[in-house]
């Protein structure tokens, strides 16, 4: 199975309670927190619900190993804001529209490196 990295990019002020619950179930309790998980249909359903609040993509083995070495024995990684920001047009637009939220594919690895 493919491993995906999920990064929370928005805070919780004014958020829908259903989204808050889903983020809590994914262990994404703070802004810029990251989890690495399997790409299953259940997770994809949560990703579609949470798309405006998170960004995700396929994590490489190198990135996963770096995270585990830097933060041993953790399931959720609390990282710093990325160097040079999330996207040119901010968190209000999707990644395909030059923004920050939504599916990123392999470019999630570059974002994670800028956050470590």
Give tens-digit pLDDT for 19-42. Answer: 999 999 999 999 999 999 999 999
Considering only CA atoms, which of 61, 66, 45, 54 is closest in space to residue 27? 54
Q: What is the pLDDT of residues 57-110, one digit of tens each?
A: 999 999 999 999 999 988 999 999 999 888 778 888 888 888 889 999 999 999
Secondary structure letter of residue 10 according to DSSP: S
Which residue ranges make up each domain of the chain? 3-115
Domain 3-115, CATH homologous superfamily name and number? Ribosomal protein L30/L7 (3.30.1390.20)
Residue 1 has pLDDT above 90, yes or no: no
pTM above 0.85, yes or no: yes
Residue 8 has pLDDT above 90, yes or no: yes
The pLDDT assigned to 15 comes to 87
Mean pLDDT of 4-32: 92
- E-only strand ranges, 1-116: 3-8, 33-38, 54-58, 76-78, 102-103
The pLDDT assigned to 88 comes to 78
The pLDDT assigned to 65 comes to 94
Q: List, in sequence order, every residue forming a beta bridge with 76; answer none if it has no partner.
A: 35
């Amino acid at each position: 199975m493919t491993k995906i990295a999920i990064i929370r990019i928005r805070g919780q002020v004014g958020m829908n309670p259903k989204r808050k619950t889903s983020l809590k179930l994914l262990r994404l309790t703070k802004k810029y927190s990251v989890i690495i998980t399997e790409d299953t249909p259940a997770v994809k359903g949560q990703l579609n619900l949470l798309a405006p609040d998170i960004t995700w993509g396929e994590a490489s083995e190198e990135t996963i190993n770096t995270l585990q070495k830097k933060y041993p024995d953790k399931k959720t990684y609390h990282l710093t804001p990325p160097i040079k920001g999330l996207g040119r047009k901010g968190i209000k637009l999707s990644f395909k529209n030059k923004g920050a939220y939504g599916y990123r594919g392999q470019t999630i690895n570059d974002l994670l490196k800028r956050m470590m």
